[in-house]
Amino acid sequence: MPDRNWWQEIPSGTLLELRKRALARLGRQFPTLSNSQREDIVQQAFVSMFQRRQSIQPDDDGLFRYMTKCMRNDAIDLRRAKTRDAKAQDKIIQSQKLPSSSPKEANSGLTAEENQEIWEIYCALSDLERLVLWSHAVDGKSIRSVSGELGISWHRAMSITVRTMAKMRAQLLD
């Protein structure tokens, strides 16, 4: 069993080199991760390594092997969480009713051509953008209510609403 104090005897250059190797390896193994996600995973591996320093061999290979296992597990967990969230989001979107035809012109005060132009821009939006915008702007639901129904944060629902309305406004003014 290694000495508890071996951690303090490691030169800082070794830890920096270990971090550099870990980031490079993580980038090769999981190229879809962003730089910040890789940094977070490497940081968590260092924390885990420090917490379990009694059971790790205090040589460079032992440290790197342990970090590699930690990083791989964290990256796989992150990928699974993203996949699970995406599937849940798709299921929610599919369960919601999106209108299949344009709303009646009589209530809008617009001409048929204007209404058709808006409808075409609306149909070009992503499912999530259409669902958030329709629920908030047409059905009159609050942003908090829309975010709760869709399982997204309030901030994300607000951001989608603002960005989508700005996108539609820019297309209408062109």
Domain at 165, CATH number: 1.10.10.10
Q: Are 123 and 82 in a shared domain? A: no
Q: How many domains does the chain have?
A: 2
Q: Are 85 and 49 in a shared domain? A: yes
Q: Is the pTM of this model over 0.85?
A: no
Model pLDDT for residues 36-67, shown as the tens digit of each residue: 888 988 888 888 888 877 777 666 567 778 88
Question: What percent of the chain has pLDDT above 90?
Answer: 6
- Residue pair 54/77 in contact (Cβ under 8 Å)? The answer is no
Confidence of residue 162 (pLDDT cuts 50, 70, 90): very high
What CA–CA distances, in Å, run from 148 to 44, 56, 141, 164, 172? 31, 45, 11, 19, 30
Domain that holds residue 48: 4-93
Number of H helices, E strands in the chain: 8, 0
Structure tokens at 58: 């205090």
Confidence of residue 126 (pLDDT cuts 50, 70, 90): confident
- CA distance linking residue 42 with residue 145, whole number of Å: 37
Confidence of residue 94 (pLDDT cuts 50, 70, 90): low
Q: Are 84 and 108 in a shared domain? A: no
Structure tokens at 122: 């609306």
Structure tokens at 39: 């940094």
Which of 74, 93, 112 is the last residue in one of the domains? 93
- CA distance linking residue 110 with residue 35, whole number of Å: 48
The confidence score (pLDDT) of residue 7 equals 60
Q: Are 164 and 122 in a shared domain? A: yes
